Amino acid sequence: MRYLHLGRTGPKVSGIGLGCMGMSGMYGPSDRAESIATIHASLDAGINLLDTGDFYGQGHNEMLIAEALNGKRREDVILSVKYGALRDPAGGWSGFDARPEATKNFLAYSLQRLGVDYIDIYRPARLDPNVPIEDTIGAISDMVKAGYVKHIGLSEVGSATIRKAAAVHPIVDLQIEYSLISRGIEDNILQTCRELGIAVTAYGVLSRGLISGHWKKDNAGPGDFRTHSPRFQGDNVDKNLALVDALQEIATSKGVTVAQIAIAWVAAQGKDVIPVIGARRLDRLNEALGALDVELTSEDLSAIERAVPKGAAAGTRYAEAQMAHLDSEAGSRH
């Protein structure tokens, strides 16, 4: 496993991270024992970056991680936690809260659920339109000074917000969707991060399974939020799966899988870009780890660009109502 510094001021993290969201029902039912085995296998393979959100399964994900880490050395794991999304008892989404007092409240509950004394990287999952980002980051900065948080990250925000946040406290990384078919950060955001010494932890590198080579049109089951995603609906999914077919030819020529090509492409975008893979089963984890051995030549990268040109995806990455809440989408145009 190769290790990279997370931004100019961050910790050393593995060249690939494990995103744990899918282990708590966001993609439909998951197997608890398999999830824990996957976390254990990822740690054994040298992955030290585990990403979660306090709203994944309304706390379920943090408690699952705590169970998986029982008996492990705390200093061997980098815990990255998002907060702020509000849920109701039925699992619905009811807003976002990043007020300073709410920030400290969410943190207190996360520390308890995870069973730890500090969180390595703490970040609001979105920009709260009602709270200046300076106030939110100031509150987390207070928690850094108090020892409850080691580093501050951001998620899904645009360049103007990144600059405001970094003026309050050093930011180690921006977590944002980045894949062959989600390349909006290349317009402006990636440049801003590099200027400020902020790494990118890229989620959705397989576009939630769409470009994994495993997705079939009838895959989604009950509780799978992908059924609400425009890229998985109607004619869009057929057009997007055609891109996967084109990618398959390149993967076959290299003797690797489509998923490995897609992950390797993200990793090849720079030492400051760390793919976060959402494996929730051992076989998917092992496939993703294999991507670390894939060397993409300039010819390979050109072939991939021809197969899946920038902007080729059909449909937006979230439904219209959710897209409106993404500062990263508005911010990328500034």
Known catalytic residues? 56
Q: How many CB atoms lie within 10 A of CB 150?
A: 17
236/278 Cα distance (integer angstroms):
23
Phi, psi of 254 (to 5 degrees): -100, -5
Among 189, 182, 213, CA closest to 275: 182
Asked whether the beta carbons of 226 and 42 are under 8 A apart, the reply is: no
Q: Are strands 119-124 and 78-83 parallel, antiparallel or unpaired?
A: parallel
Phi, psi values for residue 142, rounded to 5°: -60, -40
Half-sphere exposure of residue 173, counting CA atoms within 13 Å on the CB side?
Answer: 35
φ, ψ dihedrals at 11, nearest 5°: -80, 175
Q: Which residues of 285-308 are buried (b: 16+ CB within 10 A; e: fewer)?
A: bebbbebbebebeeebeebbeebb
Q: Which residues sit opposite 174 in a β-bridge?
A: 154, 200
